[in-house]
Structure 1
């Protein structure tokens, strides 16, 4: 039994470091600082149990032989083990509660999922680099398998005139140069088949400087009657000048709503449309939101946010619909358990899917790309949303 407690403490040790990693990557700190902390964390994660195991190896051997007594270990090691068990146990309960299989706080949506699996011809067409071609050959890797998700989302305060309104939601494009622009052309063509009335792009558009010049031509085809709107995400800070990303997207016919609120009309209905890029860029101030509301009789409020961590902010400001990305669905998902990695202050709670906490319904896309060309049980997602009145 003593050995069981040690194993549980060791598992909790690793679980706590994983939890800290998720939350570290939700912060708006400079990337260089986060990467340095990650390296130190990775080193400490393995060094701490290794040092304890080596220094007190005799005690652990006696534990396996059944002759161990707890007094053989120093108080500091015992205290650390107990702390891991307590904190790890608390986090495990919360982690278990938010597993997708239980559907806690999930919105009651209707999904029809169609998957376009990458063929050998697709790999030859889309993979620009040897790295990308090698990744595509990894068994079980789904990073080129496109999941086209048709989702009916009920909104409690949706005006009847907007029942059936169609939004094509794109997120986390991550142009690194590994994939040919033809890949996004295919995604946009699939979105256009849906006949969207609006396009929405929720950040992380480009990672490599060379790809900034692609933007205007790449996204110019994504046109909708009511407009195409975008914000930036944390990866868009990695290029030399994020403002150039905004200019190129505008040249492609897209409207930048990052950090501001706009008045728009959808099917003749006044709508407030805002963009929240916090904590990497700006989000609308309460004063700006109030000013927009006072200047119009908005019957619906929509927010584009890169991170789902802005859910509580959206609820405080009474948004009806929040569209997010950033978490990639965890990049990989375990059967039943779902994701364990998610760059969010809330861990994997909102890694992907549809959620409702009054008055806001939130849709979190798994995104379309990634710096890491690896997805396990977590296909890229093109979200085709249809709003429904309840």
Structure 2
């Protein structure tokens, strides 16, 4: 019985592994959705067909009525392959659970939950679908977690100790949620008086919402400027360059695929933008040619962690994974559109020489967040010599 249960569990676990990796690809959205549908059907059809054809034989073997299962060679091979691969990937999945803190950075984190509906005094759901979703038990889509994080950064120049970065990610303007939700996040960040605003992609999903960008983002204020990159959902409108132009018109600086040389508190900084694989990232030559005391990267996806490490980036900010959209007690996230599964779904990590912060993001096209509140990250950089 245990072997059969393990094989079935591994079958579904491997499909989850495939799903997470599929959604990290830079393929066209139509291709990904078509592949998803085929994979979903196969996920259920394969065990059902095998159960219908050979279920009675397996049942007899479980109850000791026969000593050998009369499965075809391909069926036995498939069960063994599922079990072996499931053991390998399952072991890695367990190793990277947040509870074990592997590669995690210990941070001081002060969390304040804003019930944005109550704070704004109005319903934030613009559609019937959103109103219905907001009433679901345990759904936290309007419970914004404003997190003040003291983040130790290895290699941080002493002059930047105490430097304040307001990190926004995954705005997802779909038209389902009133823009006041995003406006509240920007207002809360402004009150904190950041030195710099950083936005790591997935700004707008629906064409009509492009008209909201200027009024929303022109209100952001930081002494050293506001910087942004685009994400995969920004490909969903007719021309993503329009998003870039509207954001620049709102006073934001586009660093997508670029290395921007600037000074932060008199420290020379190479601020790069990585939008790969949906758009571009700076060339290795451009990264090597950037002479700076501090290297700072905005990336939509945490999958670019190794790229940042190769290019000697000190600090990387990312989003994209939404913290898994839902998190199990102890086990943490399950779903995560990343080549690394849920390993970097959210939180703070360090692998030499790069410190990585991954935000859960503010919103999403899926109007459901369970044990995974939307996040506004207010990050204070601290020197670390670990």
Contact 1:9 1:84 in 2 (8 A): yes
For residues 168 and 243 of structure 1, the distance between their equivalents in structure 2, rounded to whole angstroms, comes to: 24
Q: 1:157 to 1:219 in 2, by over 3 A?
A: same
Residues 36-74 of structure 1: CA deviation (Å, up to 9, x unaligned) = 000000000000000000011320331343213334222
Q: Which residue of 1 aligns with 2:306?
A: 312
For residues 360 and 235 of structure 2, the distance between their equivalents in structure 1, rounded to whole angstroms, comes to: 20
SS at match of 1:301: strand
CA shift, 1:122, in A, is 5.5
Q: Which residue of 2 aligns with 1:270?
A: 268
For residues 137 and 370 of structure 2, the distance between their equivalents in structure 1, rounded to whole angstroms, comes to: 10
Residues 323-382 of structure 1: CA deviation (Å, up to 9, x unaligned) = 000000000000000001000000000000000011100000000000000000000000
For residues 121 and 95 of structure 1, the distance between their equivalents in structure 2, rounded to whole angstroms, comes to: 39
From 198, 204, 207, give the equivalent of 1:206: 204
For residues 299 and 355 of structure 2, the distance between their equivalents in structure 1, rounded to whole angstroms, comes to: 13
CA shift, 1:268, in A, is 1.3
For residues 353 and 290 of structure 2, the distance between their equivalents in structure 1, rounded to whole angstroms, comes to: 19
TM-score (norm 2): 0.97
SS at match of 1:178: coil
Contact 2:115 2:144 in 1 (8 A): yes
From 239, 247, 250, give the equivalent of 2:237: 239
From 256, 259, 281, give the equivalent of 1:258: 256
Contact 2:323 2:345 in 1 (8 A): yes
Q: 1:98 to 1:183 in 2, by over 3 A?
A: same
Total equivalences in the alignment? 384
Q: Which residue of 2 aligns with 1:350?
A: 344
For residues 183 and 56 of structure 2, the distance between their equivalents in structure 1, rounded to whole angstroms, comes to: 62
> Cα RMSD over matched residues?
1.2
From 334, 339, 343, give the equivalent of 2:328: 334
For residues 190 and 120 of structure 1, the distance between their equivalents in structure 2, rounded to whole angstroms, comes to: 15
Unaligned runs of 5+ in 2: none
Q: 1:280 to 1:291 in 2, by over 3 A?
A: same
2:370 maps to 1:376: yes
TM-score (norm 1): 0.96
CA shift, 1:88, in A, is 0.1
Contact 1:123 1:136 in 2 (8 A): no
For residues 257 and 119 of structure 1, the distance between their equivalents in structure 2, rounded to whole angstroms, comes to: 33
Residues 181-234 of structure 1: CA deviation (Å, up to 9, x unaligned) = 111111111111111010000000000000011101110001111000000000
Contact 2:145 2:375 in 1 (8 A): yes
From 210, 221, 224, give the equivalent of 1:223: 221
2:141 maps to 1:143: yes
Contact 1:123 1:133 in 2 (8 A): no
For residues 180 and 293 of structure 2, the distance between their equivalents in structure 1, rounded to whole angstroms, comes to: 39
Q: Which residue of 2 aligns with 1:283?
A: 281
Q: Which residue of 2 aligns with 1:364?
A: 358
For residues 167 and 70 of structure 1, the distance between their equivalents in structure 2, rounded to whole angstroms, comes to: 63
CA shift, 1:117, in A, is 2.8
For residues 43 and 216 of structure 1, the distance between their equivalents in structure 2, rounded to whole angstroms, comes to: 42
More off after superposition, 194-203 vs 156-165 = 156-165
Q: Which residue of 1 aligns with 2:178?
A: 180
Q: Which residue of 1 aligns with 2:10?
A: 12
For residues 119 and 282 of structure 2, the distance between their equivalents in structure 1, rounded to whole angstroms, comes to: 45
Q: 1:299 to 1:247 in 2, by over 3 A?
A: same
For residues 123 and 26 of structure 1, the distance between their equivalents in structure 2, rounded to whole angstroms, comes to: 38
Q: Which residue of 2 aligns with 1:153?
A: 151
For residues 68 and 253 of structure 1, the distance between their equivalents in structure 2, rounded to whole angstroms, comes to: 74
CA shift, 1:123, in A, is 8.2
Q: Which residue of 2 aligns with 1:101?
A: 99
For residues 341 and 221 of structure 1, the distance between their equivalents in structure 2, rounded to whole angstroms, comes to: 34
Contact 1:341 1:347 in 2 (8 A): yes
Q: Which residue of 1 aligns with 2:39?
A: 41
